[in-house]
Amino acid sequence: MLAMNHYNFSGPPGALDPLSNLSQWDTEMVEMESLAHLGNLTLDKPISGGPIAAALSMTLGVISNIVALFILANAYSHQRRRSKATFLLFASSLVLTDVFGHIIPGVLVLRLYHSGGVFPEAAAASSNGSTDPMCQFLGGSMVFFGLCPLFLGCAMAAERCLGVTQPLLHSSLVTTTRTKLSLSGIWLVALCVALLPCFQLGSYTYQHPNSWCFIKVLANDTQEADVAFVTLFSGLGLTSLGVALVCNTISGLTLVLARLRRRPSGYSSSHSHRSVAKSHDIEMVVQLVGIMVTSCICWSPLLIFGLMSVMRSYRGSIDKADMATYETLNLMGVRLASWNQILDPWVYILLRRAVLRKIYLITKRQADLKGSVLRRWEGNSFQSKSSENNPVNRI
């Protein structure tokens, strides 16, 4: 009725010539249908540009991770050092998780886009606690595939920190069997966290603009269970990033100090073997630092915004203007987090020792070329000045 009041014309009867022969009831029905059509267009407008971006993001992520997976599998099959093999096993598991993390949520999001999104009534019903299997599965998969890379990055950093600082203890503790058990434990913990809403601890709801599902962080009926679930999710993610930062810092400082303490000595086979081992350690730590920096940049905004949103929503201190701001921030956060699964494989591909060596040689060659040109120019300039100052040349 409120919408009809906005379309209540007071002009002469001839002004509504196409509707002049209709009854008042028919006129109201036509107006309601027109408003409904306009409402549907308004609902679909923010969704119309989404499928292309979502499809491109999913395709780019899958291709990048598959390329990295082939490189890792080839390196793992030719690797003889156990510490390097353990690192490659962790990295392969990370890339494989990222592949499925693109395919499963990406297909569900594309399906929502293809169906025109979710109407506000359905989204409101999901927010009020009614079960939507698709939303529950999409939200759970996003939590699972979001926590797994953070847990794996933390485990890789801890393994390398132990290998660099305590190599003897590492060789006795870290085996292929224990590595596989650790991977299974990581996936199991992430799955248990994602399944907590099935036990009434937290919930998944449609998020703005009703084209994806995630943990309920913005709602008028935010419960203590929702706050606990978001706190657990964000706390685990931020703790993983913090532990990875500490372990990578210790590993990096240990390698730098070992490099500074090393004294030049005569060539020997044992010295060559230690140099190769140190170069492998440096390569792995550099790759871990790249993965950690990428994860911090991509995941920290979503983890922090989600925690801030649920706290303010639970206290009831969010008005309509703030609600729109927090919805936009959470949407930007999840889009940024999705880039972590695209950048992870490229961090490994580009920070390999062979690639870094080629970049170093190209840079050094360019620098030597510029230096030779500069020295040649200075030599010619000096010769011309000396010839000018010679009295015989003046005569």
3-state secondary structure of 79: coil
Q: Nearest to residue 90, comparing CAs of 193, 176, 192, 188?
A: 176
pLDDT of residue 84: 77
DSSP 17: G
pLDDT level of residue 38 (50, 70, 90 thresholds): very low
DSSP 22: S
Whether a cis peptide bond, with omega within 30° of 0, leads into 209 is yes
| Residues 372, 333 contacting (CB under 8 angstroms) | no
Give me the mean pLDDT over the 148-157 stretch. Answer: 93
By percentage, how much of the chain surpasses pLDDT 70?
A: 70
| Residues 263, 248 contacting (CB under 8 angstroms) | no
Q: Nearest to residue 186, comparing CAs of 151, 143, 140?
A: 151
pLDDT level of residue 373 (50, 70, 90 thresholds): low
pLDDT of residue 25: 40
Answer yes or no: is pLDDT of 32 > 50: no
Answer yes or no: is pLDDT of 26 > 50: no
Distance CA 373, CA 362 (A): 17
pLDDT level of residue 185 (50, 70, 90 thresholds): very high
Answer yes or no: is pLDDT of 69 > 60: yes
pLDDT of residue 274: 53
| Residues 128, 176 contacting (CB under 8 angstroms) | no
Answer yes or no: is pLDDT of 231 > 90: yes
Give me the mean pLDDT over the 230-238 stretch. Answer: 94
Name residue, tokens 């998020």.
207
3-state secondary structure of 212: strand
N- to C-terminal Cα separation, the chain: 107
pLDDT of residue 50: 62
Supply the DSSP string of 131-165, one letter for each residue. Answer: --HHHHHHHHHHHHHHHHHHHHHHHHHHHHHHHHH
pLDDT level of residue 189 (50, 70, 90 thresholds): very high
Answer yes or no: is pLDDT of 112 > 60: yes
Whether the full predicted model's pTM is greater than 0.85, yes or no, is no
pLDDT of residue 4: 42
Domains in the chain, please, with CATH? Answer: 50-260+280-368 (1.20.1070.10)
pLDDT of residue 30: 39
| Residues 264, 321 contacting (CB under 8 angstroms) | no
In whole numbers, what is the pLDDT of the chain averaged over residues? Answer: 75
The residues that bridge with 206 in the sheet, in sequence order, are 213
